[in-house]
Each structure stands twice: as C-alpha cells, then as structure tokens.
C-alpha cells in the first residue's frame, strides 16, 4: 500500500494544499479532458509534459515519490497497450500477429493514458480527500452522502493499519507458509477485519450520539486561497495546448 499512502501524503504536504479546490479543479480536470480529447501527438504528449512539470515543480512531489505512485498505473497501461497491439484471428487455428494499425493504436493509447494519469495526479497529489468532500458539500451534494464518504475515508486508514497488523501477526506464525494455511489466514483476516469495522462503527455511533450527533460531522475549514490569476494561467495553458495541437494537425 506504499504507493497509496504516498499519494495521500503528497496531497497533505503539497504547497498547493491551501489553494481552493475550484482553482485546482479547473487546471486538473482541464488537463484530463485535454488528454483524452486531443490527438495523442502532440496534444496528449503536451499534457503529459505539463503534468510532469507541475508535479515536479510547484506541487513538489519529487522523483522518488512519483516513481512510487506511478508504477502501478504504468503496469496497467502496459498490459492494456500490449493487448491492443496484438491482433488475433482464427484462420486455420489461433493466430497472433502484429499489424501496423494495432501498433499505431497502442502507441497513441499509451501516450493518452499516461497523459491522463499525470493530469489526474496533479489533483490527487495536491488535494486531500477531505478538501474534495468539503467542495462537494459546497456544491450541494446531500449531507448524508458526503457524511458516508468522509466516514469511509476516515475508517479506511484505521482498517488499513489493522489489516497490516493482522497480516504481520499471521505471517510471524507461518500463516502463509502453505497454500491452505494462506487461504485460512486470509479468510480469518477478512472476517476479523469485517467484525472490527462493524465494532468500531457501533462504538463511534454510541460515542457521537452521546455528544449530540444528528446529521453531519462538520468541522471548521481552513481558509482557501482563491486566485483569479491562477485560473487565468490554467486557462491560458489549456488554450495553448489545444491551439498547438490544432495547429500541428493543420500544418502536417
């Protein structure tokens, strides 16, 4: 789970944490839309470069952390791209072959998926989940739904810690030494985790009801910095990428 925690840690420690979610949303979602709607070359490639510069520059993710968080999506993209590149046919038995069309599609897909992943990271590495949920509350998403999402987020970290502790304890007792022992340990771990989550929820409910909990667990939100200049610069970057992609198409 190291890469997962790395994403969350990056978000909490980002210098852009204090920026408003609206401002960051314009930039990140704009890059995301550009990544999937512009031609992979040069539009998608430009989005990938912009995402990389933002992550390593102002968002200050760092190469080491970026490597930890990006390896999983890169592996998923490579498996998918390889599958797209290879063509199958059944003329006289199963035949696998590489076609120029398949390779071309796979190449464009790899650039587009990597660009979109980096664009999504600009939001994920600069905005903690709690800030996103607060933004959704301001967007009038019903309280009950935000409440459940926020509780899932809060419960998840305690349960992840429990899952790790259970796994370590089982491993130390040779619980994963054989296939049958591993299956038994995994099932006991899942059941223990389920009961623990159930029990924590019940105890939390009892504690909160005693303190007057009725509808929502609202907390004070630190002031967020809204900047028209940031939004204008984001829009300018997106327009430049789109215009560059269109101009390239026209010229070539």
Partner 1 sequence: MHIAEGFLPVAHCVAWYAVSAPFVIHGARKVIEQAKEHPESRLLLAAAGAFTFVLSSIKLPSVTGSSSHPNGTGLGAVLFRPPVMAFLSTIVLIFQALLLAHGGITTLGANVFSMGIAGPWIGYWCWVGSNKLGWHRNVGVFLALAFADLSTYLVTSVQLGLAFPDPVSGIAGSVAKFMGVFVISQVPLAIAEGILGVLVFRLLTDVARPELERLGVIKPSMSEAVAR
- Range 133-192, binding partner 1 (CB under 8 A): 142, 144-145, 147-149, 151-153, 155-156, 159-160, 163-164, 167, 176, 179, 182-184, 186-191
**219 is an interface residue for partner 1 by CB under 8 A:** no
**112 is an interface residue for partner 1 by CB under 8 A:** yes
Interface segment toward partner 1; rule CB under 8 A; list 52-60, 74-82, 220-228, 230-238: 74-82
CA angle, residues 121, 122, 126, in degrees to nearest 5: 105
34 burial level (CB within 10 Å; 0-12, 13-18, 19+): buried
The CB-of-140 to partner 1 minimum distance in angstroms stands at 13
Q: Using the rule CB under 8 A, which residue among 57, 64, 88, 228 binds partner 1?
A: 88
The CB-of-134 to partner 1 minimum distance in angstroms stands at 15
Instruction: Mention every residue, 6+ apart, whose C-beta is less than 8 A from residue 53.
Output: none
* Pairwise CA distance, residues 137 & 131, whole Å: 10
Question: Cβ distance 117 to 70 under 8 Å?
Answer: yes
- Binders of partner 1 in range 223-252 (CB under 8 A): none
Q: Using the rule CB under 8 A, which residue among 169, 195, 233, 240 binds partner 1?
A: 195
**62 is an interface residue for partner 1 by CB under 8 A:** no
- Residue 78 or 232 with smaller CB distance to partner 1: 78
Q: What sections of the chain are H helices per DSSP?
A: 2-13, 21-37, 45-56, 63-85, 100-124, 129-138, 143-172, 179-210, 228-251
């Amino acid at each position: 789970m190291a890469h997962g925690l790395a994403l969350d840690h990056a978000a909490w420690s980002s210098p852009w944490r204090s920026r408003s979610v609206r401002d960051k949303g314009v930039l990140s979602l704009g890059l995301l839309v550009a990544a999937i709607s512009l031609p992979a070359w040069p539009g998608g490639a430009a989005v990938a470069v912009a995402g990389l510069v933002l992550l390593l520059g102002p968002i200050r993710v760092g190469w080491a952390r970026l490597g930890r968080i990006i390896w999983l999506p890169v592996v998923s993209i490579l498996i998918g791209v390889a599958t797209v590149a290879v063509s199958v046919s059944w003329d006289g038995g199963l035949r696998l072959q590489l076609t120029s069309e398949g390779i071309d599609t796979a190449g464009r897909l790899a650039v587009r998926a990597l660009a979109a992943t980096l664009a999504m990271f600009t939001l994920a590495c600069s905005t903690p989940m709690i800030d996103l949920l607060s933004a959704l509350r301001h967007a009038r998403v019903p309280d009950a739904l935000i409440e459940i999402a926020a509780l899932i987020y809060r419960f998840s970290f305690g349960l992840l810690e429990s899952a790790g502790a259970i796994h370590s304890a089982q491993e130390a007792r040779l619980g994963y030494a054989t296939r049958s022992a591993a299956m038994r340990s995994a099932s006991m771990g899942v059941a223990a985790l389920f009961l623990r989550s159930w029990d924590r929820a019940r105890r939390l409910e009892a504690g909160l009801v005693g303190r007057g909990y009725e509808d929502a667990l609202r907390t004070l939100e630190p002031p967020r910095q809204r900047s028209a200049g940031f939004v204008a610069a984001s829009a300018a970057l997106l327009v430049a990428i789109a215009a560059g992609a269109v101009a390239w198409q026209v010229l070539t």
